A and B are shown apart, each in its own frame.
Chain A
Amino acid sequence: MAYSEKVVDHFNNPRNMGSFKKEEDGVGTGIVGAPECGDVMKLQIKVQNDTIVDAKFKTFGCGSAIASSSLATEWLKGKTVEEAGKIKNTDIVQELNLPPVKIHCSVLAEDAIKAALADYKKKEDGKETVK
């Protein structure tokens, strides 16, 4: 199967690959997928004043999975938490020109974004209860 140029570009030059410390203030972490299924994505956001100032990913998976998560980190940066929640897997499919068999990679990336946002919100809520 031939990959689109954009997938190849993200695969060869992944954007924002790496990790934040999970316990760091303002960091939300989402880990989705399963090794048995052949893909696991870890997506992290760093939020300041309700804006995502940085994002990082690590992915075990095929080229399309790596590209989907790399693209997601690019899109997340600069968005508010609310805006980030509106990123849809279909946007990723369109941008990367993913074939039908690879749509699940984009679904996983959307799930990872949602999981990271949920983790961030949970941490923030936790703080308020402590106060």
Chain B
Amino acid sequence: MKFPIYLDNHSTTPMDPRVLESMLPYFTEKFGNSASRNHAFGWEAEEAVENARKQIARLIHADAKEIVFTSGATESDNLALKGVAEMYHEKGDHIITSSTEHRAVLDTAKALGAKRGVKVTYLPVDKFGMVNPEDVRNAITDKTILVSIMFANNEIGTINPIKEIGKIAKEKGILFHCDATQGVGKVPVDVQDMGIDLMSFTAHKIYGPKGVGALYVRKKNPRVRIAAQMDGGGHERGMRSGTLPVPLIVGFGKACELCEQEMAADGARLSVMRDRLHANITKALEDVYLNGHPTERLPHNLNISFAYVEGESLLMGCKEIALSSGSACTSATLEPSYVLRALGVGAELAHSSIRFGLGRFTLDEEVDYAGKRIIETVTKLREMSPLYEMAKEGIDLKSVQWAAH
């Protein structure tokens, strides 16, 4: 076994060697600009880009012409929300999203509110982190121009009822954007079947390179229009100017092709591993809580709160494993995870949460080792925890008057 062990695949994934191989020629001998229309170098690059576009479109059941390349999912989210708000501002000024979206959506919505006066409804989620489609229906007004709901959550892995939400949006004639950064390449995503009009995703979460992403923009039923946020050479049908990063796009295409072929097998293998990890932990430790949906979740995600133990200290205690925590101490904002808080998880349990993200290259022995080390470290830290001691003495921690600081 090699150390450190990487179990943070929601954050990013290692690139598949087959993806790297596909990219290499496009850095050197095939270096052309895909927008150069008059010579062989340009044609070669353009052909490679169009091939990648097809590979990407196939994975999400779209048409190649509906793929707009961006620098990543954050840019795609920005382009979708700002592009729609600007293009359809005469039609309305109301956007519906949810409280557990990624910051790329939440902060973009907030910026639209502050700078353009767009009104934003943030839908709550249930205790599993799921948006209720009926809440979407009830929030729609005659001023609503966009519904933006994530496919699957990056912290807890809960998968939203996208198809039902898409159906409601369609019924009401409102555009539906889905941030599918965590879902594409991991579980089947079908923009036709699910009624998605705009969709953000990125290469580096699916074993492709960092620095390239895409926004799916529906071409018919309805034909979606967005105002460009980057002006220039009119690339990507005028929606996103800028010379295309051909090697990255080739890698993105290859990564999508591999996901199409392997995601079913990967998902099946990882969910077995993940379930075993969960079972080992709950067998060995008491007061352990699963965050997120028990079944409607990404196959490679596990998010657990270990009561009486603070998350950052837990990560510090098993430094040879790369994990992430919802603890305030690991965030830039010094607040515990807003996603867990939105589920109604108490702040103390949010501080105690750990996210495991398995991936294509995760080995059985790595997951079993991680489980063993987590159990050891939680046991050790609980011995050190005054809260565990109090709980053992039968004191109800909620009845204690704490001095918040």
Contacts and interface: CB of A to CB of B under 8 A. Distances in A.
A33 B403 contact: yes
Contact residues on B (Cβ < 8 Å of other chain), bracket: 20 to 34
B403 A38 contact: no
A52 B225 CA distance: 74
Contacts of B397: 35
A36 B385 contact: no
A59 B386 contact: yes
A31 interface: yes
A36 B405 CA distance: 10
A19 B389 contact: yes
Interface string A62-86: 1101100000000000000000000
Contacts of A41: 386
Nearest to B328: A38
A63 B316 contact: yes
A101 interface: yes
Interface string B327-341: 111000010100000
A130 interface: no
B313 A62 contact: yes
Interface string B236-271: 000000000000000000000000000000000000
A66 B314 CA distance: 12
A66 B313 contact: yes
Given A3-B316, A11-B316, A38-B310, A60 B404 contact: no
A37 B329 CA distance: 10
B384 A35 contact: no
Given A17-B384, A62-B312, A35 B347 contact: yes
Contacts of B329: 38, 61-62
Nearest to A61: B310
B164 interface: no
A46 interface: no
Nearest to A41: B386
Contact of A39 (B310, B317, B384, B388): B310
B403 A61 contact: no
A2 to B, nearest CB: 11
B367 to A, nearest CB: 24
B318 to A, nearest CB: 12
A3 B317 CA distance: 12
B313 A63 contact: yes
Interface in B314-360: 316-317, 327-329, 334, 336, 346-348, 351
A20 to B, nearest CB: 12
B386 A58 contact: yes
A35 B348 contact: yes
B308 interface: yes
Contacts of B388: 60
A126 B307 CA distance: 36
Contact of B402 (A3, A40, A104): A40
Contacts of B387: 35, 40, 60
Given A14-B384, A36-B404, A60 B316 contact: no
Closest 8 CB pairs of A and B: A34-B402, A35-B348, A42-B386, A36-B347, A38-B351, A58-B386, A62-B312, A62-B329
Interface of A: 3, 8, 11, 14, 17, 19, 31-42, 58-63, 65-66, 101, 104, 107-108, 111
Given A58-B389, A60-B310, A60-B388, 16 more contacts: A34-B405, A35-B347, A36-B347, A36-B348, A36-B404, A37-B405, A38-B336, A38-B347, A58-B384, A60-B308, A60-B384, A60-B386, A61-B313, A65-B313, A66-B384, A108-B405
Interface of B: 308-310, 312-313, 316-317, 327-329, 334, 336, 346-348, 351, 383-389, 397, 402-405
